[in-house]
A = this chain, B = another copy of it.
Amino acid sequence: MTRTALTRDAILDSAAHLVKQHGPDALTMRKLAAELGTAVTSIYWHVGNRESLLDALVERTVADLGVIRPTGRTPAQRIASVARALRRQLREHPHLVAMVHERGLTERMFLPAQQALVHEVHAAGLRGTHAAEVVRAVQFQVVGFVLVERNRERAPVQQPAEEELWDTETAEDDPGLARALAGPVDQEKLFALSVRALVEALLAR
């Protein structure tokens, strides 16, 4: 059975698959070669070395990110919709943010979202430095939230169990709060709440 000819794109596809599942560290040239059914050194002919392979992978992924279309009626709603869309994009590529940052492509990657935000902030009547601050605050908020989320999801079982930590006087004083903090985080709800609060306050000043 003749295998398909080894191409740069086939290598990138395979690499993307490995990275998406277990992160960039799990991408070894030898595993990649095994998955492709080729000799390790063949990969070098097509993509240079491991680092330029990752470079190419990041560049392709960033280029393939969909555009961001705001929805909603009020500026606050439309800004929140951009935040949600950005979060969804980032969650689909769990390791992309770190890889993009390491390669100095952060600004390029966020440009579509930033432009959408600028548009909505303008629609809300803001201009100049103030508008820029709002755009950046929302961007930091979304990216930060996704990074924390990702860490939490990768994390193993918490140790000690979260309940034990709140088995204190606070638990008696405010059992509802103790229960809420001991339980798991509803990230979806927390994200919506945080974005709404931030945008609301920033547009109001």
Contacts and interface: CB of A to CB of B under 8 A. Distances in A.
Q: Which of A101, A132, A135, A180 has the most CB of B within 10 A?
A: A132
Interface string A173-205: 110110011000100001001101110111001
Nearest to A119: B170
B135 A181 contact: yes
A63 interface: no
Contact of A174 (B114, B131, B173): B131
A92 interface: no
Interface string A144-159: 1111100110111111
Q: Which of A137, A181, A202 has the most CB of B within 10 A?
A: A181
Interface in A92-108: 97-98, 101-108
B193 A197 contact: no
A102 B151 CA distance: 8
B104 A174 contact: no
Interface stretch (A13-21, A34-42, A121-129): A121-129
Contact of A104 (B98, B114, B157, B194): B157
A46 interface: no
19 contacts: A98-B151, A101-B155, A103-B156, A104-B157, A107-B158, A107-B162, A107-B165, A108-B158, A131-B176, A132-B177, A135-B181, A140-B145, A140-B148, A141-B141, A144-B145, A144-B147, A147-B151, A197-B201, A201-B201
